[in-house]
Structure 1
Amino acid sequence: MSVAVVVGNPKPASRTLSAAVGLATALRPDTEPAVIDLVEFGPGLLSWGDPAVAEAARTVADAELVVFASPTFKATYTGLLKLFLEQFDGGTGLAGVLAVPLMLGAGPAHALAPDLLLKPVLVELGATTALPGLYLSDRTFAEDGVLDAYAERWRPVAQALSDTVTHSK
């Protein structure tokens, strides 16, 4: 099984990246995720045809499980992540991908953002988004146990869905 994480934080090596890799690893401990830290693409995300961006998009489209992660920025996901998602065709670009929306924020005010804001665009691109989105405190996620509890609850579902989605590719 192939697993990837897509991180839309404008800071390199961010807490968002750490949380996304942690979630992907917790959901699929048998697989090392491919890491796509969008900040590394810089202006390549602003035009069509950048080879590195195209390769990253292929990696994501070919993956069976992808964690899409963003800090909460102006009550939603970042423009950096939006620019990357524009690389995929509507309805089919992420077909066959089990997508998990993950967002981090400073407080609980935007706890529904992964499901209300990020999940619909992933669905529009054809991803399967049967797992609930996960919202983590950007300051306490490493020790508060929320990520581990989520993974414990949803790991068997992710495995079953990945097997089903894989057969549909």
Structure 2
Amino acid sequence: MVDEQAQLLRTLHDEHAPALWRYVVWLTGDRHFAEDVVQETLMRAWRRPQVLDQSDHSARSWLFTVARNLVIDDRRSAHTRHEIASEQLPERPADDDTDALLDAWLVSDALTTLSTDHRLVVIHAYYLGLSTAETARALEIPEGTVKSRLHYALRALRLALQERGVTQ
């Protein structure tokens, strides 16, 4: 019985699937959707063996009716009414650097709380990327003073950031 049904289903597919596919493409204009509808139509025929036992004309009529109903059901479904097909992929979210801008603003505000000597050392060392020796030459102070001021400036900066809600 199972082999007979499988053979009948194969025959049904071979005889009717191409015509069903063309019919669904004609209804929808969507080749991929047509493949899905044909597959679902044939699956429904397989689940209803009495369809397979009908005459060839009755089985064909039943298959086309099921395919048409599947198309109608899909077009009436919520996903079809609420979704819009697009050939282009939506834009990917891009970093707008807002966080970096806010962080820079916060650090800049905290830098204003430092003394001028400490602020200059931090700006030369971190913003301009100068070494201790280069900073000492630029500010015309000893290297040891640059290191000392940098140490105390960073401690004061950390405290100023904590006062503004930044935690470690």
More strand by share: 1
Higher relative contact order (CA 8 A, sep 6+): 1
Report the structure, 1 or 2, having the larger helix content.
2
Bigger Rg over Cα: 2
TM > 0.5 = no
